[in-house]
Amino acid sequence: MNAAMHWNTIGAMLLCGLAMGAFFDVYRVACHRFSVSRWMIPGFDIVYWFLATLLVFHTLLHKNFGEVRLYVFLGIGIGITGYFGLLSPTALKAIRFVFRMVQNVLNALWRSFRILLVVPFIWIVRALARVLEILFIVTAAILLWTFRLLSKPFAGLGRWTWERLLPVRRRLSPVMRLARKARDKWRQVLDVFRRKP
Distance between CA atoms of residues 174 and 136, nearest Å: 44
Mean pLDDT of 10-31: 88
- Which comes out higher in pLDDT, residue 159 or 131? 131
What does the pLDDT look like over 50-89, one tens digit per residue? Answer: 888 888 888 887 777 767 777 778 888 888 888 888 888 8
pLDDT (0 to 100) of residue 180:
83
Long-range contacts, stretch 44-53, CB < 8 angstroms, 24+ apart:
48/23, 48/24, 51/23, 52/20, 52/23
Q: Which of 15, 17, 10, 12 is nearest to 70 (CA)?
A: 10
Does the model's pTM come out above 0.75?
no
Mutual angle of helices 41-64 and 70-82, in 10-degree steps: 130
pLDDT (0 to 100) of residue 3:
64
Cβ count near 13 (within 10 Å): 25
pLDDT (0 to 100) of residue 41:
81
Alpha-helical (H) ranges within the chain are 3-33, 41-64, 70-82, 88-113, 119-164, 166-195
Q: Mean pLDDT across the chain, nearest whole number? A: 82
> Which string of DSSP letters, residue by residue, matches 3-32?
HHHHHHHHHHHHHHHHHHHHHHHHHHHHHH
What does the pLDDT look like over 111-154, one tens digit per residue? Answer: 998 888 888 889 999 999 999 999 999 898 888 888 777 766 66
Q: Which residues contact 56 (CB under 8 A, 6 or more apart)?
A: 13, 16, 72, 76
pLDDT (0 to 100) of residue 7:
77
Distance between CA atoms of residues 29 and 26, nearest Å: 5
* pLDDT winner (highest mean) among 56-60, 77-81, 166-170, 175-179: 77-81
pLDDT of 1 higher than 60: no
pLDDT (0 to 100) of residue 196:
52
3-state secondary structure at position 153: helix
